[in-house]
Structure 1
Amino acid sequence: MQTTIDTSAEFVGVGLHSGLPARMVVKPAKVGFGIVFRRTDVAGVATDIPAIWDHVVPSKLCTLIQNADGVSVSTIEHIMAALVGCGVHNALIEIDGPEVPILDGSSAEFVTGLRAAGLRELDAPVRAIRVLKPVEVSEGEAVARLEPAAGLEIDFSIDFVDQAIGKQAKRLSMANGAFVRELMDCRTFCRQADVNLMREHGLALGGTYENAVVFDGDKILSPGGLRRADEPVRHKMLDALGDLALAGAPLLARYKGARAGHALTNKLLRALFADPEAWVLETCTEGQAYTLPGAGVCRTVALNAH
């Protein structure tokens, strides 16, 4: 069955790129509502922004969605991954600034808050997008691809000149709470060589060595080092899950990313939906729904029709 959260969950912090403070509250929503952001600090125009692939606009180093009135919210990928990873299908996200708070740079605090809020079942089945044939996009050496699969799998590889990162690859099925066990605590990362350049362009203004893992050649500059030996590629998988959530329904597919980023994953979704023979929207059986990312992760309260 479709779900929403049972009670509201609040998150307070600063935006990674803007450096601006933000208070964000995730609230329950009705059947078929999907995930919608609402800017509470904006007046006189439409303030709701659906978290859907065709609302994504070009943005450096993060995912940014915008409505027809130009109202936007950026860096949504970590909360979107947490929602998918906790099995939340419908939610209203109120935020009083232009960027989601970065918190510790991963999805861990979002997951903790959502799990504490719990899930409420709604009186409607889950519908999923089944990929029927391969779809692929590329830009230079970066490639993103969707292939048919029984459930959502993510297969990612990265290659950095910094010895402390180097080449990393990982493949995971997202069933059985894999996101919470394997990915949610993996933080965003960058190279020290890029930090000054980003700040010259008005980015990473809220970044610290605590909310991002900073690498410099063979050194890890962030206190405490890595949470996992392959934390960078795991974080890229976390990002991919959050960006794929913008499909608007769970995906039954294998995602393959090689050096892919936010923009390329959105380009992949656009290519998928541009081909009506590449996908179908279907009602999940009870067995299929149980294999979706987030199934069984949160406590669930009694069925509540809306």
Structure 2
Amino acid sequence: MDVNATPKSLRARGAVQQPAGQAGVCQTTLKDVISCAGRGLHTGAKVSMALLPAEADTGIVFRRTDFAGRGAEIAARWDKVVDTRMCTTIGNAEGVVVGTIEHLVAALAGLQVDNVTVELNGPEVPAMDGSGEPFAFLIECAGIRTLDAPRRVIEILKTVSVGNDEKSAVLMPGAGSTYSFEIEFASGAIGRQVRAFDLSNGAFRDELASARTFGFREEIAAMHASGLARGGSLANAVVVDGSSVLNPEGLRYRDEFVRHKLLDAVGDMRLAGHRLLGHFHGYRSGHALHNRLLRRLFADDSAWRLTGTSGLSAAGESAEARMHAARAIA
């Protein structure tokens, strides 16, 4: 199995020729191997994980070291998603899966790492503290190296949307790589939160990385019965009980909840195979709807194209302005 093979529609677009050596134009990978260990958020199982440098055009590939051969590898891509209950899980034809990949993938996207092999000896990425910050720290420690190959992005050419009045997700054309999200919960601890974010401005660690996953106390028993959140605790999740946050340290951001939803969206959208050039807006959406959105996008060849990175630095509307336009569509 060739995990590096992209869908036929992507391959047909061909490579984009751009001069090497310009900031943001070339692909990147890690300088060194870096590793960590922890427990899976949903399985509760101990897992060791290593991030390894990879060659140009590898993309993000997960490799299960507790399985043998190339059947142990899975490309982090939309067409490999096999489960979206409470997290994003990818799998291959051999039945090998890796779950809860979104926070790690978001950190790789946020720090602009294009190529990496992720080795782990279990079925789930370690939860760490429930955010993307530990992974961003690992990437920083490993260092980032520029490769002599042009970086490519997927440009959104026309608006694509999925969902309904209850929840929705939209991709629309635009310069740069911007995101916005809106959530509404009955809990007084959350309420309605709206935030926009520009992935192109280098603010990932300041604005999104530390936002933790969250859940509700009354749902824990049902999640455990479904085999989920067995590794969850106040050490790796924000737990809401009515109008209160149970974590003794409180929140890391006033609007940590919507920031985490943006973090999830960045990770899920990176499964396009490349960074997206355009705007994403989510209204109460989750992993399932995000994957449906990518499937809808790639089902329409007129909605996207594989191109160079010049648009990522082009001036255009702010993330906030695009959010208002996207909300009108959603």
**TM-score normalized by the length of structure 1:** 0.92
Q: Counterparts of 1:64 and 1:33 in 2: how far apart (Å)?
A: 19
- Correspondence for 1:141: 166
**Are 1:4 and 2:4 counterparts?**
no
Q: Structure 1 runs of 4+ off > 6 angstroms?
A: none
User: What pairs with 1:58-97 in structure 2 (closer than 5 Å)?
Assistant: 58-97=83-122
- Correspondence for 1:14: 39
Mark the runs of 5 or more structure 2 residues left unpaired by the alignment: 1-25, 316-330
Contact 1:11 1:110 in 2 (8 A): no
**1:44 Cα shift?**
6.4
- Correspondence for 1:303: none
User: What pairs with 1:14-33 in structure 2 (closer than 5 Å)?
Assistant: 14-33=39-58
Q: Counterparts of 1:149 and 1:178 in 2: how far apart (Å)?
A: 19
**Are 1:115 and 2:145 counterparts?**
no
Distance 1:111 1:290, change over 3 A: farther
**1:246 Cα shift?**
0.2
Q: Counterparts of 2:255 and 2:75 in 1: how far apart (Å)?
A: 33
What amino acid is aligned across from residue 213 of structure 1 in structure 2?
V
Matched residue of 2:302: which SS? coil
Q: Counterparts of 2:170 and 2:89 in 1: how far apart (Å)?
A: 21
User: What pairs with 1:255-294 in structure 2 (closer than 5 Å)?
Assistant: 255-285=280-310, 288=312
Q: Counterparts of 2:235 and 2:34 in 1: how far apart (Å)?
A: 23
Contact 2:60 2:116 in 1 (8 A): yes
Matched residue of 1:277: which SS? helix
What amino acid is aligned across from residue 43 of structure 2 in structure 1?
S
Q: Counterparts of 2:213 and 2:163 in 1: how far apart (Å)?
A: 23
**Are 1:220 and 2:217 counterparts?**
no
Distance 1:7 1:44, change over 3 A: closer
Mark the runs of 5 or more structure 1 residues left unpaired by the alignment: 292-306
Contact 1:210 1:223 in 2 (8 A): no
**Are 1:182 and 2:182 counterparts?**
no
- Correspondence for 1:296: none
What amino acid is aligned across from residue 146 of structure 2 in structure 1?
E
Q: Counterparts of 1:140 and 1:49 in 2: how far apart (Å)?
A: 34
Contact 2:211 2:252 in 1 (8 A): yes
Matched residue of 1:154: which SS? strand
Matched residue of 2:224: which SS? helix
Q: Counterparts of 1:155 and 1:72 in 2: how far apart (Å)?
A: 30
**1:59 Cα shift?**
3.2
Q: Counterparts of 2:174 and 2:124 in 1: how far apart (Å)?
A: 34
Q: Counterparts of 1:154 and 1:40 in 2: how far apart (Å)?
A: 34
**1:45 Cα shift?**
6.9
Q: Counterparts of 2:164 and 2:35 in 1: how far apart (Å)?
A: 38
Structure with the larger helix share = 2
After superposition, what is the alpha-carbon deviation per residue over 1:64-112, rounded to whole angstroms, capped at 9, x for unaligned?
Answer: 0001111000000000000011110000100000000000000111001
Aligned residues between the structures: 290
Contact 1:139 1:264 in 2 (8 A): no
Contact 1:16 1:206 in 2 (8 A): yes
Distance 1:134 1:38, change over 3 A: same
- The 10-residue stretch of structure 1 (269-278 or 53-62) with the greater mean CA deviation from structure 2: 53-62
